[in-house]
Structure 1
Amino acid sequence: MIEVMDATLRQAASEGMDAFIEGITDAYKKVIGEELTAETMPLLSGEQHTLLAYRIFRDEIMEGGFCQLIQNGYGGYIFDNPFAKVMRLWGVGDLSKLVYAARKIYEAHREDLERERTDDEFMAMYEEYEVFDELEEEFLEKEEEYTALVAGYVDEHLDLFVKIV
């Protein structure tokens, strides 16, 4: 089990729910060398992957939306894994529905969304895939609620996510 210092976790929790999640997932990133590969995937449990997926999802959507998330190589990690289903099981049903809606768009346009692009082509994606706009806006409006629900679940089941030392 991945270890996190008690003081580190307490400090992160005092800074807010997003910092609490980041405190845990930073430990995951350190263990996997900041990179998800076939070699590093087995180093995390299913619960840990889901929490890391939430962090990646949140950070990417907040910064650049679904186009950025997919262009940065996380489309498969989010949409091909049971991330949406687990969000529902963790009590974040609205986020689950949002991810399923985005997944439909992703699956319908996967080849184009994932193809290598120049910077100009990447920026043009935002106009080409305006279909994501409504989902991004919904996420931005509810992000604090979603993060609170995820952090609450993690806090209630901490032993599934880290070993506190």
Structure 2
Amino acid sequence: METTKITVKDADLRKGAEAGMDEFLQVFIDKYLELAGEELSAEMMSLFNGYQHTLLGYYYFRREVLEGGFVQLIQNGYGPYIFDNPFAKAMRLFGAKDFSKLVYEAKKIYDENREDLEKERDEEAFMAMYEQYEAFDDLEEQFMDMEEQVTAQVASYVDEHIEQFAAVES
């Protein structure tokens, strides 16, 4: 199955890069979300290549973990997208080796508790999960400490392999 040809404007990339690595990556993410919508779906999976999925995975991972930790990431349905795909391996290939190890550690907890972690819950039961799954706390703290460096590594990789992420038009 062929992936969709994704194009970004050179001017948008330059503007994003000037604003910072987050904004540079967001140029690609915005284009991906425009095509796929915000929801993960089977149709969405076929739109992108592995590089694009890895960048999208990092976007979801970063957004969810910074906002509400691994519990939120999993409860919002992103567990399979992150942990059942070669996301951690791809992050290692992107140069984010310590981050890759962190994702593998989180995957162990996820795999051991998957059924319970993915159960639908009301707000009160959801909040109680943070105490129940304190095993994620150290990993979340580690991610907070390395997030800026990881984002820089991802941005650098994307910049060096830009043709894998989108065609650039003037």
TM bin, normalised by shorter chain, reads over 0.9
Gap runs ≥5 in structure 1: none
Q: Which residue of 1 aligns with 2:21?
A: 17
Q: Which residue of 2 aligns with 1:118?
A: 122
Q: Which residue of 2 aligns with 1:67?
A: 71
Letter in 1 for 2:159: D
Q: Which residue of 2 aligns with 1:6?
A: 10
Picking from 30, 35, 51, the partner of 1:31 is 35
Letter in 2 for 1:135: L
Picking from 152, 155, 162, the partner of 2:156 is 152
Picking from 57, 60, 75, the partner of 2:61 is 57
Cα deviation digits, residues 60-81 of structure 1 (max 9, x gap): 1110000000000000000000
State yes or no: 1:143 paired with 2:147: yes
Letter in 2 for 1:138: Q
Distance in 2, matches of 1:88 and 1:23, equals 23
Q: Shift in Å at residue 36 of structure 1?
A: 1.8
Letter in 2 for 1:75: G
Aligned residues: 165
TM-score (norm 1): 0.98
Gap runs ≥5 in structure 2: none
Q: CA RMSD in A?
A: 0.7
Q: Shift in Å at residue 10 of structure 1?
A: 1.2
Identity %: 60
